[in-house]
Amino acid sequence: HGKPWRSMCKGLVLGTLLTSFMLLLYSYAVPPLQVSVTEIPIPFSCSSHLSPVQAPSPSNGTGSASGWSCRPKLNVMFMKTHKTASSTILNILFRFGEKHRLKFAFPNGRNDFYYPSFFERSQVQHYRPGVCFNIICNHMRFHYEEVRKLLPPDTTFVTVLRDPAYLFESSFHYFGPVIPLTWKITGEDKLDEFLRDPQHYYDPNGFNAHYLQNLLFFDFGYDSSMDANSPLVEEHIQEIDRRFHLVMLLEYFDESLVLLKDLLCWQLEDVLYFKLNARKGSTVSRLTPELYEQATAWNLIDAKLYRYFNATFWRKVEAYGRERMARDVAELQRENKKMTSICIDGGHAVDASAIQESSMQPWQPLGEKTILGYNLKKKISKKHQKLCRKMLTPEIQYLTDLGANLWITKLWSYVRDFLKW
C-alpha cells in the first residue's frame, strides 16, 4: 500500500526540483529582452518577398466560387485552445507554412508560450522588434495587444471551440494528474464525484485550477472564475468576435475547415488531415445527460461563449451556402479517406505500444499512455510519401523539424522516460 505513495512522493520531489532547476537555468540562459515600449514598429507583411506564391489553380479549383480567384493568405494567428483537436489544426498550419516557407513565431524552449502566463512577444524565439512573422499557433494565454504587435496588420485570426461539457470532461481526465485539487477525490468515477459538488472540491487559487472551469475563457485571457451573469462576460465575448475572423467548432470540424479554406483562400490539399492526438476509446467516458447538464452549468461562461459562436458559425455556413457546404464537406471527407488508405498502415490509429517508429510517437499525458498514434504504410508511392509523413508527424517532432527550440520539453520527456511516467 505504501509503495505507490512513496514513488509518487519521490516523483513529485524530483519533478519539483527539476522544474526549479530548469527555470533557474532558463533565466540565466535567456537574458530578458530590453525593449522600449514606445515606438515598436509593427512589421509589414513579410510574405510577399518570401515566396512567390503560385496563383491558385485557375478557377476550376474546388472551393472558391466560380469565376474569381484569390491569393492565399499567409499570415495567420491561430489561438490554440486546449482539448479542442487543435493539434490536428496545427499540423495543417505546419504543412502550409512549410510549403510556402513562412516564418513561424515559435516559443523558446518549450512547446507553449509559458502557459498559463500571458503571452508576451519577447517569448518568441528569435524575436527582435520589427522582425516579421507569418504564423503563430502554439498554446498561449491570449494577449491581444502583444500578438498584434508581433504579426503583420493583415493577419487572419482564427480559433476553435468545443462544447464546454465535453471539453471539461476531456480536460479533467487529461490534466487530472497535474491538478492537486482532484487528487483527494475518492470514488469510482472522479468526474462524477466532482460534478456532484464542484464547490466542495474547487478552489480558484489551487495549482492548475484553471483547467477545471471555463478553460476556454481562461485561454482567451479573461478571468475564468468571474460571475457568469456579469455583463462583462457578454462584453468579452463581443471582443473575441471583433478580434477573430473565424471561430471554428470541433463538433463541426469538416465544415470549419471548409470555412477556413475559403477564408484563407487555400487549396483543398492544404486542409486535409488525420485526427492527431485522439484519446483511446476505452478512456473516453460518455457523459450521461445529467452529467452533461452539470458540466455545462459548472462551465457556464464557456457555455455562453460556445452558444454565441455556434450561432455565428451557422450564419457563416448559411452565407457560404448550405448546398455548397455539403458538397465541399463531402469532397474533403472523400479526399481524407483516400489519404487514409494511401498513408496509414491498417487504416486506423493504434495504441502507443504498437507504433513502430519513435518519430511517430505522440506526446502522452502524465502517468498513462492513452493517446493514439499511427504507423506509416510500408509502401507509399513516391508522389505521396512526403505528404503522408507530414500529415502523420506528431506535434513535438514537427515543431523540431521546423526549427523550434524545445530543450525544456525534451529534457522533461527524458526525465519522464527515465522515471517511467
Ligand X SMILES: *[C@@H]1O[C@H](CO)[C@@H](O)[C@H](O)[C@H]1NC(C)=O
Which residues sit at the interface with ligand X, rule CB under 6 A?
60, 163, 307, 310, 314
* Distance from C-alpha of 394 to C-alpha of 378, rounded to nearest angstrom: 18
Smallest distance from ligand X to CB 311, Å = 7
| Smaller CB separation from ligand X, 89 or 167 | 167
The full length of the chain comes to 421
* Distance from C-alpha of 87 to C-alpha of 81, rounded to nearest angstrom: 9
- List all residues 6 or more positions away from 185 whose beta carbon is below 8 Å from its beta carbon: 193, 194, 201
Smallest distance from ligand X to CB 385, Å = 26
| Smaller CB separation from ligand X, 122 or 312 | 312
Which grid coordinates are listed for 125? Answer: 524565439
| Smaller CB separation from ligand X, 165 or 399 | 165
| Smaller CB separation from ligand X, 149 or 324 | 324
Smallest distance from ligand X to CB 259, Å = 15
Sign of CA dihedral 157, 160, 163, 165: negative
Smallest distance from ligand X to CB 34, Å = 47
| Smaller CB separation from ligand X, 201 or 314 | 314
Smallest distance from ligand X to CB 28, Å = 48
Residue recorded with cell 477556413: 260
| Smaller CB separation from ligand X, 123 or 267 | 267
| Smaller CB separation from ligand X, 67 or 231 | 67
Smallest distance from ligand X to CB 355, Å = 34
Smallest distance from ligand X to CB 9, Å = 42
Smallest distance from ligand X to CB 314, Å = 5
Smallest distance from ligand X to CB 327, Å = 15
| Smaller CB separation from ligand X, 310 or 385 | 310
* Distance from C-alpha of 157 to C-alpha of 5, rounded to nearest angstrom: 46
| Smaller CB separation from ligand X, 57 or 229 | 57
Smallest distance from ligand X to CB 307, Å = 5
Q: 273: closest CA among 85, 37, 142, 4?
A: 85
Smallest distance from ligand X to CB 61, Å = 9
| Smaller CB separation from ligand X, 163 or 270 | 163
| Smaller CB separation from ligand X, 162 or 261 | 162
Cis omega (within 30 of 0) on the bond before 116? yes
Which grid coordinates are listed for 27? Answer: 533565466
382 within 8 A of 369, measured Cβ to Cβ? no
